[in-house]
């Protein structure tokens, strides 16, 4: 269901109406006093700065290997997650992040980009724990976070899309078959995330095997899934992005 929202003196905006999950219904009416950023590096520091300007207390999480990283020093509080895990896997450890949020009275979790930002199960885990997820609803994250499903939604809506595989490829041979049919160059993309990770442009058949291996490893490290799909690569495209409120 949709509602036309018209701010005083402003333009009309199309906004969705939905009933929030039971766990988040009470929390959604409360002011945000403390935010945890489930990320590291520059993105975490930028969110901390914005929160500080708004008078909101900040919480960092860090892996054992990131003890000395600047994002830990910039937050009001910082807690270890993923003990014994490699750095990336630590930031993908949903139970630890939720535990830190619950034990330290966190009101909202900001996922940053990469890592868990496009994982619907993480968005749902936040709501189930009574903590607000700074981002879309789990259902929207599920549909748009999975790039193959997002392609399917666009196709079903009658929108033109770049030629690509309808589902994640099962292996190198399936990627090779698509490339031979569509022609080079092609691009390998992580199915479960974005942000430039798990992506490789392949211009010749000789590059395909190594690029496939590298893209799979990057996708697995960044998103916890090595699933890839393949698209025809468009040279020098014009990128037009529309932000919808």
pLDDT block averages, 10 residues each, the chain of length 245:
41 39 53 97 97 97 96 97 93 97 98 90 96 95 85 92 92 94 94 81 95 92 85 92 82
Q: State the pLDDT at residue 116.
A: 92
Taking alpha carbons only, the member of 39, 35, 84 closest to residue 61 is 39
Distance CA 130, CA 124 (A): 10
Q: State the pLDDT at residue 27.
A: 55
SS (H, E, C) the chain: CEEEECCCCCCCEEEECCCCCHHHHCHHHCCCCEEEECCCHHHHHHHHHHHHHCCCEEEEEECHHHCCCHHHHHCCEEEECCCCCCHHHHHCCHHHHHHHHHHCCCCEEECCCCCCCCCHHHHHHHHHCCCEECCCCHHHHHHHHCHHHHHHHHHHCCCCCCCECCCCCCCHHHHHHHHHHHCCCEEEEECCCCCCCCCEEECCHHHHHHHHHHHHHHHHHHHCCCCEEEEECCCCCCCCCCCCC
Q: State the pLDDT at residue 88.
A: 86
- CA distances (Å), origin 25, targets 35, 119, 225: 18, 21, 31
Q: State the pLDDT at residue 1.
A: 35
- CA distances (Å), origin 186, targets 157, 172, 204: 24, 13, 9
Q: State the pLDDT at residue 28.
A: 62
> Cα dihedral sign for 154, 156, 161, 162?
positive
Q: State the pLDDT at residue 7.
A: 42
Paired residues of 34 in beta bridges: 57
Domains of the chain: 23-143 (3.40.50.20), 164-232 (3.30.1490.20)
**What's the burial of 103, exposed, middle or buried (CB within 10 Å: 0-12/13-18/19+)?**
exposed
């Amino acid at each position: 269901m949709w509602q036309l929202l018209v701010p005083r003196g402003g333009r009309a905006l199309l906004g969705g109406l939905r009933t929030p999950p039971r766990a988040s219904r009470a929390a959604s009416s409360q002011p945000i006093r403390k935010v945890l950023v489930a990320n590291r590096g520059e993105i975490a520091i930028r969110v901390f700065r914005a929160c500080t300007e708004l008078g909101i207390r900040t919480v960092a999480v860090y892996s054992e290997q990131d003890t000395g990283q600047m994002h830990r020093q910039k937050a009001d509080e910082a807690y270890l997650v993923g003990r014994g895990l490699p750095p990336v896997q630590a930031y993908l450890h949903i139970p630890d992040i939720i535990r830190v949020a619950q034990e330290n009275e966190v009101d909202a979790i900001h996922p940053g980009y990469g890592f868990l930002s496009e994982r619907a199960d993480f968005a749902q885990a936040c709501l189930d724990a009574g903590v607000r997820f700074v981002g879309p609803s789990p259902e929207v994250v599920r549909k748009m976070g999975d790039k193959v499903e997002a392609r399917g939604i666009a196709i079903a809506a009658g929108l033109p899309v770049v030629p690509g595989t309808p589902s994640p490829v099962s292996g190198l041979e399936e990627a090779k078959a698509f490339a031979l049919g569509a022609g080079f160059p092609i691009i390998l993309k992580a199915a479960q995330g974005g942000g430039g990770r798990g992506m490789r442009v392949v211009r010749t058949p000789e590059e395909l095997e190594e690029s496939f291996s590298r893209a799979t490893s990057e996708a697995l490290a960044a998103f916890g899934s090595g699933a890839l799909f393949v698209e025809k690569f468009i040279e020098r495209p014009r990128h037009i992005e529309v932000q919808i409120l």
